[in-house]
Structure 1
Amino acid sequence: MKLQGNVLEEKLKERIKELTCLYNVSFLIRSYKLDNIEMLLKEISLNLKEAIRFPKEAFVEIKIDNFTIVEGEKIEDAIFIISAIKPFGKIKGVVTVGYSKLKFSENAFLEEEKLLLNKIASEIGDFLERKEVKEKEEITKRQIERAGRLTILGEITAGIAHELNTPLANILGFTELLKERYKDDKIGSEDLEKVINSAIYSREVVKKLMFFSCEMPQQMASINIKKVIDEAISLLKPNFSKKNIAFNVVYSDEEIYLKVDKIQLTQVIFNLVINAIYFSPENGEINIVVKEKIKTVQIKISDQGQGVEAKNSENIFNPFFTTKPVGDGSGLGLSVVHGIIKSHKGTITHQPNLPKGTIFIVSFPKN
């Protein structure tokens, strides 16, 4: 009777340890912030190790994505129980509990411990699900906020462009008249020529603003975009040669037809490739891949520059935002590209080009 009482007491102690562990893990998962996952897993592994039948002899390992948490001394030649972590039904990691094979047999693990391991893996999976949902919500929120800002900026820039067009035309016109009147005054003519050049530059900025705000009239036609892209790249060959940059252009088909404004498509390619050249190191490489899909045509332009810093990621398509030194850029190139692509019902995104650089991905819908 005494022996039976000891067995029951031992079993009761094990159940209390398991329930305590489960309570602690549930509390930790609901208490920890979603971005502090490594510390959370460390705490879970500590609690799980204490809940095992022989905690001093056991090791606990939790693997998720790119990092691993181990509590206790991991033994390669071990017997173990394992449970998969499956957020949204996809395996993202595992929880393992093991003993040395030299000291223990498979009977060392209790059935209740296997159930406990499955429950903890499920709890971690739930945490990862909440984390992923939260991250997607944050991305969506930022995209909506950014779209709202760009809409307001588009309206403002359209108004500015219209307001500036008339005075700029007047400046150019009257300066040309003055230049004719003072053609015998060499110094005066040179000064007036500077005024004309500045006014022409300003007019080009206004034109870019109108592109950004989609105020420029479009000439839409179904064309083979391969010819347009080849022509644009051909015109940029001196820019490639200047920095000894190699370039590769790959098409999924010889003929890829798309309903676009030819001039605006050329401007998109020009701006993106010139940016890629600017940020590429000497002797670098730029790859352009044009792929026709079922519903879209995708253009990928990748460089080997320094890449887009996270702090600039949300702003690169905003007008007048630039990371170039003063005098090297107006900050309108990518905003013009964004405006043109938006007016074609397309999208533009960017991502890192590993090991270094940036990939811009333009997607036009097929009509």
Structure 2
Amino acid sequence: MVSTEAKLKERIKELTCLYEVTSIIVNSDYDLLGTSLEAIAYCLKKAWQFEHDTEVALKSGDYDIKTEEFKADMIYIKSDIKVFNKLEGFIKVGYPKKKYEQADFLEEEEKLLENVALAVGNLLERKQVHDSEAAIKRQVERADRLHILGEITAGIAHELNTPLANILGFTELLKERVTDPKASRDLDKIVDNAIFSREVVKKLMFFACEMPQQMKSVALIPVVENVLKLLGPSLRTKNIKLIKSFNEQKIELRADTVQLTQVLFNLIMNAIYFSPKAGKIHVAVDSNGKSIQIRIADEGPGIDPENEDKVFEPFFTTKPLGDGSGLGLSVVHGIINSHKGTISHSSNTPKGTIFTIDLPKL
């Protein structure tokens, strides 16, 4: 029979554990949550009746924590971890099978484990809320940056258009009056560079949604097929396998055909550029309710976490110098925005990037 003193000693251990667990949770750093969960596991280890033989396992999502001697064949009691009423893991407290029986666990210990599992679930809920708030804040900040960039870009584009038109016009006039072949070649170079600059300005105006649009009813699948046909040689050069999946053949939306083609061309061309040889690119089109979703997935190196918020900004590129101007994705973003749609990116599995476009259905 257990003495009153022994029972009191066990209650003190349990209360101390609960207090320490609460302190750990209150002082948790959401970026170092694994460290807090490990501290909770070792805190539980000290609270059990036979603490020198007690081992703890805690698993939830990406967290898988075990004390040194925890083994799968131990006898144990277990309590589930629930996050927003959804089962997300468990905590097990065990003894070596050779020395103990299930009856050696105390009823109070089971209640303690339930309380700790509940507290861990609450901590994980707060972590999810914190992460969601941080993600929303980043999205708002990014939208603000892009809006400001759009206004600045539109102003720059308008300011550059007139001098570029003058350069082209006066250069053409000079070409008519110049007879020296070398001078004529130099003037041709001026014209070529002015035309290139004008194309950059045009892309800037696309990004800023300043280009006039010809919106009409467009059949989406033929546009996608046409872009894939145009890019066929590039796919074959790198021996890339193209996977297409369209849940409907007759999908219509209100769009500018030229701009929609430019969006698809840019995204698929990027996927080809970053894909390894003999890789795969998946182009999927889904029509659900009032929206259309286009997904383009590659098996490239993916987007560095440090660059995730910059990919749609003008002049940002990870391509080597001379391979890209950094305007492709910013133009895509501007066009999709002007079509009242959204574009986002996520990681592919096991590697690569997925760009997802959501557009309103006709």
Which deviations, in whole Å up to 9, do the C-alpha atoms of 1:209-230 show, x marking residues without a partner?
1100001111111121111111
**Cα offsets for 1:268-310 (capped at 9, x unmatched):** 0011111111112222222211111112111111112111111
SS at match of 2:344: strand
Equivalent-residue separation in structure 2 for 1:134 and 1:270 (angstroms)? 37
312-321 or 277-286: bigger deviation: 277-286
CA distance in 1, matches of 2:349, 2:145: 30
1:169 pairs, out of 160, 165, 176, with 165
Cα deviation 1:127-165 (Å, max 9, x = unaligned): 111111111111111111111111011001111111111
Please tell me the residue identity of whatever aligns with 1:331: G
Q: How many Å apart are 1:187 and its aligned residue?
A: 1.0
Aligned length: 362
Any unmatched runs of 5+ in structure 2?
none
After superposition, give the CA deviation of every residue in 1:240-276 in whole Å (9 maximum; x if it has no partner). Answer: 2332323232211111111111111001001111111
Q: Distance in 2 between matches of 1:224 and 1:8?
A: 81
In the alignment, what sits opposite 2:123?
Answer: 127
Q: Aligned equivalents of 1:283 and 1:36: distance in 2?
A: 39
Misfit runs of 4+, over 3 Å: none
Q: Is the 8 A contact 1:58 1:72 kept in 2?
A: no
Cα distance in 2, alignment partners of residues 124 and 40 from structure 1:
10
User: Among residues 36, 57, 60, which one is paired with 1:61 in the alignment?
Assistant: 57
Question: Would you say 1:159 and 2:155 are equivalent positions?
Answer: yes
Distance in 2 (CA, whole Å) between partners of 1:363 and 1:163 is 33
Aligned residue in 2 for 1:280:
275
Partner of 1:113: 109
Q: Does 1:257 align with 2:234?
A: no
Partner of 2:305: 310
Match of 1:24 among 20, 25, 37: 20
Q: How far has the Cα of 1:111 moved from its partner?
A: 1.1
- The alpha-carbon deviation at position 57 of structure 1 amounts to 2.0
Instruction: Give the Cα separation in 1 of the matches to 2:160 and 2:71.
Output: 74
Asked if residue 147 in structure 1 is aligned to residue 155 in structure 2, the reply is no
Q: Could you tell me how far apart the structure 1 residues matched to 2:91 and 2:244 are?
A: 46
Task: Kindly indicate whether residue 317 of structure 2 is the aligned counterpart of residue 322 of structure 1.
Answer: yes
Q: Is the 8 A contact 1:75 1:99 kept in 2?
A: no
| Aligned partner of residue 101 in structure 1, secondary structure | coil
TM-score by length of 1: 0.95
Q: CA deviation at 1:72?
A: 4.8
TM superposition score normalised by structure 2: 0.97
1:148-227 mapped onto 2 (5 Å cutoff) = 148-182=144-178, 184-227=179-222
1:97 is paired with a residue whose SS is strand
Where do 5+ consecutive residues of structure 1 fail to align? none
Q: What is the DSSP-based 3-state SS (H/G/I as helix, E as strand, rest coil) of the residue aligned with 1:86? A: strand
1:232 maps to which residue? Answer: 227
SS at match of 2:283: strand
- Residue 96, structure 1, aligned to residue 88, structure 2: no
Counterpart for residue 74 of structure 1: 70
Q: Do the aligned partners of residues 15 and 72 (structure 1) sit closer, same or farther apart at CA in structure 2, a change above 3 Å counting?
A: farther
Q: Which amino acid aligns with 1:211?
A: F
Identity of matched residues, %: 54
Distance across 2 between alignment mates of 1:50 and 1:41 = 15
Aligned equivalent of 1:331: 326
2 CA distance for matches of 1:337 and 1:92? 38
